[in-house]
Amino acid sequence: MKVRVDPERCQGHTLCFMRAPEAFELSEIDGHSTPVADEVPEDQEAAVVEAVRSCPERAIGVF
Amino acid sequence: MSDDDEARKHPRVHFDRHAPEYRDRFEEETRGFHEGCPLAWSDTYGGHWVAAGNRELLAFARAREKLSNDHDVHGERRGYQGINIPAPARGRGIRGGFLEMDPPEQRAYRDALNPYLSPAAIARWIPFIDEVAHACLDERIESGRIDFVDDLANIVPAVFTLAMMGIPLKKWELYNEPAHAGVYTPPHSPETARVVEAHRAMLKDIGATLHEVRANPRPGLADALARMEIDGRAPSDGDLVGALALLIGGGFDTTTALTAHALEWLSQHPAERDRLSRERATLLDPATEEFLRYFTPAPGDGRTVAEDCEIAGKEFREGDRLWLSWAMANRDPAVFPDPDRVDLARPGNRHTAFGLGIHRCIGSNVARTVFKRMLLHVLDRAPDFVCDPGGAVHYETIGVIQGMRHLPATFTPGPRLGPGLAETLETLQRICDEQGLAEPVTVRKAEAKIR
Ligand code: SF4
């Protein structure tokens, strides 16, 4: 599974990081999110799917 | 107004979020919106649209160039009225900071302030926040009685907000009164004159703070604003005072409201309270988000349509007013199964308590952190608290903030851990100054060292 955060949509709500702290990192400056890696490790897939479902801006895509 | 213009304004509802009945009828009215008209027209307050569905709010967030937050207080642009419907009488002549601005101006403020308010920036303050919370509890812990609003939830956010701004901590009471009473006091109340006076004193002190940090720079949000430029020019003092007042308004009353409601709910559901305390490692984050969803302290924001357009299947005309109800969208059954139930572990909680889009509450990380620290200390030091339903006072109306004025409670008394509030604030002021705690995260990475 691959994951992407749309930087135009992400507004730094930080819910993705709460749900999958190993898969996302937040900018120190404004809290906006980027995936730690494009490819999601298998043991983090469930957490990343939950992050997708928790993002208020619907900024995260998995494919 | 042409018939054609009237025809597009449907479906029609009567929506008056400032009416005292709205508080009691909130769930029923919200269900009505979700069942038939998540986007409707109401004739109240000069006529405005009401968006209550999650899908509709997302559509508006994504159509941001077509909507304006501008509050044109001096009639220099298009006369738009900002984010309150109706525009308030109090504070007339002052823009509500960057929340009543559009990009690129709004962006410049956010860029200046973000490094003070990001998750990493706020995490550095946790020992400071803990110290204030402990001092508040120490004042009451031996008596076994506390008013969670007056003695805790008013104080911690106020002191912390002032610390971040670079305003002396001992001034918290000067700011506390207008920040809360300014919201809950209705215009016809006999208290209004006093509240307006307190509000004026607060604005005066904000202005004085700006002058002080210009003459003698000291770190903090006030300094960030005093130094900022937009296209090489400093914003007007009026706009800067408005921005600082927005940070006060955002930092004080909302977190108090969230904390009080959550504590009241936990007192009513002691088994859930004990579970939250036991399973805090996994439950504290989702429970916080669930309280944010369920209680949504800031229930919505207004916008003005900036050009004729179609959004979410409706036709809008330039100048239309629009109310984005974060609170009602947070009960949208299409996104939140069983929306009127509190589920501390709720999955997929994409709530809109902090808004959506570019105006996402800039203090969201402050609110979450301060709330969590206060809650944990209460769970640790007064785990068997029982709120007194007879003494709880909710805001009469929830049009601006869904807040509480008082929440008395009793608990098994315990020992003090340190000195009281006044002495703690003196110590913390010294630490703030010595360690430069109010510097942005770009300058200081280290956590506050209290002991
Ligand atoms: S939850 Fe969504 S908006 Fe928030 S930081 Fe993550 S990707 Fe960005």
We report the CATH number of the domain holding residue B72 as 1.10.630.10
For residue B303, tell me if it sits in a domain: yes
Closest residue of B to A52, CA-based?
A: B348
Å between B430 CA and nearest CA of chain A? 26
CATH hierarchy code of domain A3-62: 3.30.70.20
Q: Are strands B321-325 and B300-305 parallel, antiparallel or unpaired?
A: antiparallel
| Structural domain count of chain B | 1
For residue B141, tell me if it sits in a domain: yes
Q: Mean pLDDT of residues grouped by 10 in chain B (451 residues)?
A: 75 88 89 93 93 96 94 90 80 80 94 96 97 97 97 96 96 84 75 84 93 95 95 93 90 90 98 98 97 95 96 94 96 97 97 95 95 98 96 84 91 95 97 96 94 79
Residue B289, chain A, CB below 8 Å: the answer is yes
Query: For B348-370, what is each residue's pLDDT tens digit?
Result: 999 999 999 999 999 999 999 99
For residue B424, tell me if it sits in a domain: yes
Which of A25, A26, A32 to mutate for ligand 1's pocket (most ligand atoms within 8 Å of CB)?
Answer: A32
For residue B117, tell me if it sits in a domain: yes
Distance CA B172, CA B180 (A): 12
Å between B441 CA and nearest CA of chain A? 7
CA of B115 to the centre of ligand 1 (A): 17
Residue A62, chain B, CB below 8 Å: the answer is no
Residue B337, chain A, CB below 8 Å: the answer is no
Domain residue limits at B80: 3-84+95-435
Which of A4, A22, A25, A55 to mutate for ligand 1's pocket (most ligand atoms within 8 Å of CB)?
Answer: A55
Q: Which residues are CB-neighbours of B401 under 8 A, at least 6 positions away?
A: B183, B184, B253, B254, B257, B297, B298, B299, B395
For residue B180, tell me if it sits in a domain: yes
Query: For B8-42, what is each residue's pLDDT tens digit?
Result: 998 999 988 888 888 889 899 999 999 989 999 99
CA of A31 to the centre of ligand 1 (A): 8
- Yes or no: say if B355 and B111 are a contact pair by the CB < 8 Å rule: no
For residue B444, tell me if it sits in a domain: no
What is the total residue count of chain B?
A: 451
ipTM value:
0.96
Return the domain boundaries, chain A: 3-62
Helix (H) or strand (E) holding A61: strand A60-62
Residue B121, chain A, CB below 8 Å: the answer is yes
Residue type, B185: T
Which CA distances in Å does B62 have to B39, B305, B329, B389? 16, 13, 16, 42
- Yes or no: say if A16 and A5 are a contact pair by the CB < 8 Å rule: yes
Which of B120, B285, B360 minimises the CB distance to A11?
Answer: B360
